[in-house]
Structure 1
């Protein structure tokens, strides 16, 4: 794809980007929400375990005769193993707002659970409400901790109960869930992108079909749009058919006017030439020359007008092989005294986008010119030059032309050899008619030694 094609606005690209943008945004937000919900659910379950541990501590803690707080005998073996990752401790608030440790789990060994600044005041303001926070353990592992304050029978001062557990397993579960969610949503996003592209392509397929059919009409493979299209495109197809019918009607009117003009001008000129030929003298010669010049001018401009009108029509296509075969047989008979042999080659499915008469004039003038100047051989080759162009090359084994001579040969009425018959308009007619069809004429040196006439013309689809 070319860079200018990427810069050009595209309906397909616009729809795909819009749908894909919304889909990917929704997927991204959904993935984030799912990850946050899973994280909150995991932490709630984690906090529930810590809350149960604190409830057990509060329910089992006692105060002896000396006022000392005694911890209950818990059955959780992790709390008995040093640095196991599950810890608890009992403390009391001090007058300066700090916390004094009373009892701790064996898993803490000689360490203690760190508490945030001001937590004692927060617990005193709302006794019984647990507070959760993040801290570090004895081995610098991440801990999720919970702290609560309660009063025990036989003790006037409140007791602070703290429980904590290593949250690394929960963090790993959260990371695993996020990774799995990312993979799933990525695959879902790729699937949605493919679905969007397919949906847009399928949804716009009738529009692409209409474009292809219009191209077939332009190339001459069809005369009108005949496909069955959705209700949204049917009015467009009908309007295109009406437009093409109107253009064809305009072209026909132009061609009729051109024919009438040709008849109206040629008849008086023929009368003038006839009368001048019957009257002798210098005046007759002047009238004859000027009338001939006028007739040549009329032929020249009417030929261009007819060609321009024909190129506006649609559905015109001519078999190149049939035209070359007809011209070769005709010219070989005309130049049989000279012994001219014409070798032509063209594919059966190669078509010129235009009228048969115009291709006869284009190829005929070039082939006739080659037959006049050749020593005995003329070669004609027609090939496709892309999907919309064809190339027609006529070569001869004659004397050829110099670069200056080739340029002069394209001037209207130029005669490079006054001894040869003809008006000198052949190559100029080819050039003008090819230009009318949007084609190109190039003169060069033939591989056979003579002149090469290279024509690039519009090609009709098969």
Structure 2
């Protein structure tokens, strides 16, 4: 029992189980409604046919009826033999204008209380009523058809012709139809459920393929999700592969960073171990301060390198314009004493599909260099690529600029363009790391390619 309960729970919590249950319930409800509608339509058609049949019996009685004063006379033997046979199940009767039974067929002789039948009041001329009645002392109901007839030249005589027939054959016919209907609907339901299960199994096969690929990758069979997936699942599998790649790259990056940090600290630590504080205290103190400053720079650089993230294209798009304006506003406060005319060309619809911290790190370092080394003018142009997924960043200033040799130097770790100003010289190196993690490019723009963005100084273009 516990094992069966666990299996049922797994089935219920599976996508195929839920879809199968819901589809089966919808199918059963639909078949139940359909059977009710068909049974109702069939019973209505039978009632209409029975009403026409009973009306024909009334016309048969009218054909043989003869007026006899204020009443009617009908022959003892009628053309329809069932009227002449007791307990035949077919009864005919005539009522006068006051509702009294003035004639009844011989088939009604076995009903001693026929005059006490619960028949409604007489009908007017042309009025017709088809209904079901329950005769006294009988278990089965009867169908009845009544029609008002006016007799005479001036319609002075009013009669109501009544035909009663045993409804048992009608009910038997309805029950037979219901049994046949439910039998075939049941067979059809089973066939549809089987087809439905096959369709669900076929339709959910790509999801099982994704699960299989994930399991194979977890077991070391593959580094990424491999397989042919339908169009709807391609974004999912691509983003999963991207996450896996980013996680692997970040893990390797962290391991390399820790190794670089340990290696970089070896030399300062070795110097500190060799200090002779007894012989020359002042020189040892100066060397200590220098090595501590060096270690602090190394740690700061490695920390920045470690937090430089990898691209996460499955994140929602980050609006670039408000972020750039926020950075420019902050730099205006930092460089309050230096008047800088910064122009931002960025539409409100420009989006960056990646980590917001990466974008802030890139723009912050680039714009800070523009404020610091520029001559007072700065142009920032940001736009999406044609496919709306990439990003183009152009930063130009009117400073002294950099030669190609200087550019190759400043993007190296710890190298600065101006050694007189404070800093570790790793800002552009961090920018390069982030750009490379997004498989992008960063390069200086030659003057002949700058166009309206040529301010005479350094011009950098980043393509992500």
Decide whether the 8 Å contact of 2:101 with 2:115 is kept in 1.
no
SS in 1 for 2:92: strand
Q: Determine whether 1:69 maps to 2:37.
A: no
Deviations 1:114-133 (A, max 9, x none): 5546422xx13xx2211122
* Structure 1 residue 29, shift from structure 2 partner: 1.2
Deviations 1:340-397 (A, max 9, x none): xxxxxxxxxxxxxxxxxxxxxxxxxxxxxxxxxxxxxxxxxxxxxxxxxxxxxxxxxx
* Structure 1 residue 91, shift from structure 2 partner: 2.3
Distance in 1 between the 2:260 and 2:110 partners? 119
Decide whether the 8 Å contact of 1:62 with 1:152 is kept in 2.
no
TM-score by length of 1: 0.51
Q: Which residue among 45, 49, 65 is the counterpart of 1:45? A: 49
Partner of 2:141: 142
Distance in 2 between the 1:169 and 1:158 partners? 33
Gaps in structure 1 of 5+ consecutive residues: 276-462
* Structure 1 residue 61, shift from structure 2 partner: 0.6
Partner of 1:31: 35
Question: Which structure would you say has the larger RCO, counting Cα contacts within 8 Å and 6 or more residues apart?
Answer: 1
Decide whether the 8 Å contact of 1:78 with 1:107 is kept in 2.
yes
Alignment CA distance shift 1:67-1:231 (3 Å): closer
Distance in 1 between the 2:8 and 2:171 partners? 51
Decide whether the 8 Å contact of 2:133 with 2:144 is kept in 1.
yes
RMSD of aligned alpha carbons: 3.2
Partner of 2:24: 20
Alignment CA distance shift 1:5-1:18 (3 Å): closer
SS in 2 for 1:147: strand
Partner of 1:209: 209
Gaps in structure 2 of 5+ consecutive residues: 275-464
* Structure 1 residue 205, shift from structure 2 partner: 0.9
SS in 2 for 1:249: helix
* Structure 1 residue 171, shift from structure 2 partner: 0.4
SS in 1 for 2:253: helix
Decide whether the 8 Å contact of 2:87 with 2:110 is kept in 1.
no
* Structure 1 residue 179, shift from structure 2 partner: 1.9
TM-score by length of 2: 0.51
Partner of 1:450: none
Partner of 2:323: none
The alignment covers a number of residue pairs equal to 265
Decide whether the 8 Å contact of 2:127 with 2:147 is kept in 1.
yes
Partner of 1:103: 103
* Structure 1 residue 209, shift from structure 2 partner: 0.4
SS in 1 for 2:221: coil
Q: Equivalent residues in 2 for 1:284-363 (5 A)?
A: none
Distance in 1 between the 2:151 and 2:8 partners? 82
Distance in 1 between the 2:205 and 2:102 partners? 79
